[in-house]
Amino acid sequence: MAAFESGAQRAGSGRLTNDFLSPLSWKHQVFRKTLKRAVISSARFARLLPHGVSLAADIKRRIPEFDIRLIFDVGANIGQAADEFLVQFPRSKIISFEPDPDAFLTLSARASSHSRLAAYNLGLGDRTERVRFDNSSPVSEIHAIAKDQSNERLPLVDMTTVDEFCALQGVDHIGLLKIDTEGNDLNVVAGSAGMLRRGKIDVVLAECSLTQISPRLVSFSELQTAMRSYGYVCFGIYQQAFGANPGDHQINWANCAYVRG
């Protein structure tokens, strides 16, 4: 398929130490990710997981007719989600989109070493255009389209839509559309209107704010309204996260999955 021809655009002791057990330890994080992947990739364990833990397991259990062969990873950053998808959906190909020129360097290096992964230095939204991209924060995961488009110190990035990309690349079906664009998610949905209306996208997974007041994320109610307008219903809420304040008992954000009702 033409979409995967990248070109220039895509491209010791055995004891557990206190350092290892620290939630902030990189060793601890690697251990958790390795364990999670081992559990999720095992069909025997996946059947035992309650709904809402693993999207891949939930799809396999409740909608076995969905054969996820193509994943759009919109807002891929350096490929964290793509790594998970490669394990959880072993028969899928993944197209990752990342407008941030710095993050894309790492993402494209990842893609060049994996035959099932392609990367494009593009942002997706509701139109084809060039916009300023704010990558000034040291935390690359929260880089986003700049609120101040007059700031010439910020890089210009190319934007297109899911519908436009699919038309140009001959993509007629998406198994999973994952969206994590730090507030631009509704525009990505709008730019997928043609594919959504025709039922050509099986699952949409989008980040949203459950508090409904996040200055950085789309609210759950807005996302719900948009997806329902295309005939999609909420299938599950994943990776629920509380705020940084230890006394905050309200879920802050999550990734919500939608399928056709």
Domains of the chain (ranges, CATH numbers)? 17-48 (no CATH), 49-260 (3.40.50.150)
**Would you say 68 and 59 are in contact if contact means Cβ atoms under 8 Å apart?**
yes
Task: Give this prediction's pTM.
Answer: 0.81
Of 27-36, 44-53, 127-136, where does the model show the most confidence?
127-136
- Please check whether residue 99 is in contact with residue 9, taking contact to mean a CB–CB distance below 8 angstroms: no
Per residue in 122-141, pLDDT tens? 999 999 999 898 888 887 77
Round to whole Å and give the CA distance between 174 and 200.
6
What HEC string does the chain produce? Answer: CHHHCCCCCCCCCCCCCHHHHCCCCHHHHHHHHHHHHHHHCCHHHHCCCCCCCCHHHHHHHHCCCCCCCEEEEECCCCCHHHHHHHHHCCCCEEEEECCCHHHHHHHHHHHHCCCCEEEECCEECCCCEEEEEECCCCCHHHCEECCCCCCCCCCEEEEECHHHHHHHHCCCCEEEEEECCCCCHHHHHHCCHHHHHCCCEEEEEEEEECCCCCCCCCEHHHHHHHHHHCCEEEEEEEEEEECCCCCCCCEEEEEEEEEEC
Q: What pLDDT shows up at residue 119?
A: 97
pLDDT tens-digit readout, 206-217: 999 998 677 788
The mean-pLDDT minimum among 110-119, 125-134, 240-249 falls in 240-249
pLDDT of amino acid 238: 96
Mean pLDDT estimate for the chain: 85
Q: What is the pLDDT of residue 183?
A: 86
Are the CB atoms for 97 and 67 separated by under 8 Å?
no
Amino acid at 154: L
pLDDT, residue 18, reads 43
Residue 113 phi, psi dihedral angles, 5° rounding? -105, 5
The rounded distance, in Å, linking the Cα atoms of 223 and 74 is 16
Range scoring the smallest mean pLDDT among 13-17, 150-154, 248-252: 13-17
Distance CA 33, CA 27 (A): 10
* pLDDT surpassing 50 at residue 7: no
Residue-level length of the chain: 261
CA torsion, ordered 220, 226, 229, 235, to nearest 10 deg = -40
Percent of the chain whose predicted confidence (pLDDT) is above 90: 62
What is the mean predicted confidence (pLDDT) over 155-172? 96
Mean pLDDT value across residues 165-191: 96
- Structure confidence by residue, pLDDT tens digits, 57-78: 999 999 999 999 999 999 999 9
Q: What pLDDT was estimated at residue 10?
A: 53
The answer, yes or no, to whether residue 91 has pLDDT greater than 90, is: yes
